[in-house]
Structure 1
Amino acid sequence: MDIRLNEDNLILESAVDEIVSCLYRQDESEGFDKLQNLLPAIENTIENYLLASNDDRSVVSERINSILFQLLSAMEKRDIIVMADILKYELISCLKY
């Protein structure tokens, strides 16, 4: 993989760790603010991942969409612990190249 993609992934993982930390501390406001600020980077990482992935794009896209739907559902329910778990254990692991 491209070194730049790995660097982007590490930056994203670090930022997600900060968000997860806020959510686990029940600092919902800060966690939501950080997540909102990170959304463009998440979108960019997803696009780069899809371009660089050797996997079937439709399968990868479906998996990412499923994770994002779960995240949105948890956000709507204001279930910040589930949000943190989805970000940390599902989204980041799915986007590792």
Structure 2
Amino acid sequence: MVARSLLLFVLAALAEIGGAWLVWQGWREHRGLWWVAAGVLALGAYGFVATFQPDPNFGRILAAYGGVFVAGSLAWGVVVDGFRPDRWDVVGAAICLLGVAVIMYAPRES
């Protein structure tokens, strides 16, 4: 169950961050409206991916995803844009991922 949840977070991050990047490229870098349209579709896909999380609580899923988004955005920047995070970026992302683990996977009473 945890592995499935983690995979869904990764897919959501790829869709949202990739979609936002496509919109950025299309609009800000003047690559055209087709890039923007592809970005909008990817952002829509992100919304659907989140619904497959096993936890039924929207607020918990989106709060935890926020931490995944922070770390994923930095990783996207490294891989796609050649961004070089400093140690504080890495520390901040690690703190966010710790928050994800606590929010999503801490033992709870039923």
Shorter-chain TM-score tier: 0.3 to 0.5
Bigger share in helix: 1
Higher relative contact order (CA 8 A, sep 6+): 1
Normalising by structure 1, we get a TM-score of 0.43
